[in-house]
Structure 1
């Protein structure tokens, strides 16, 4: 595998992992009767709507399991979404 192939592989893996993170977030929001796009906007009010979040929300695919708030917060932090993790933690306290 040459350098270009390695880079493409790494990018592809990151994008797949990012999709899993977004799906976990969507699942958690649905379990708590929250609109994922509204919660995301609370965390990042200056950003444009997240196209991946919108696409996956419309997709409606579910994991078929309950997502623990602590697990979601950890996953969000791994991806550097600290602001979103904070907003989720505030909702989890309610």
Structure 2
């Protein structure tokens, strides 16, 4: 494999993994009754609509059909991709939840 082919493979893998991270975020939002677009805008108000987020939203399933996505899993994935602003917004949403007794 040439260095050019290797570079292209790495880019494709990163893009695939990034798409999965966005889908995990969108599904987590659906699971918690939150609007992924709204949270994204809170984190990145200077950015226009995110086509990758729109595509991920289309792939989400209703909460009843989805598996649980632990908060720590989402925060870890966001951190892995350097989405610190979005992780901050998510953390604030987690803190707003009623406390379980």
Q: CA RMSD in A?
A: 1.5
- Report the equivalent of 1:16: 16
Structure 2: state its 5+ residue gaps: 97-101
1: CA distance, partners of 2:82 / 2:31? 23
TM-score by length of 1: 0.93
Deviating 4+ runs (over 4 angstroms): none
Distance in 2 between the 1:93 and 1:74 partners? Answer: 17
1:21-76 CA distance string (max 9 Å, x none): 01100110001101101110000001111110011212335893111111101110
Q: Which runs of 5+ in 1 are unaligned?
A: none
CA separation in 2, counterparts of 1:80 and 1:39?
16
The alpha carbon displacement at 1:77 in A equals 0.8
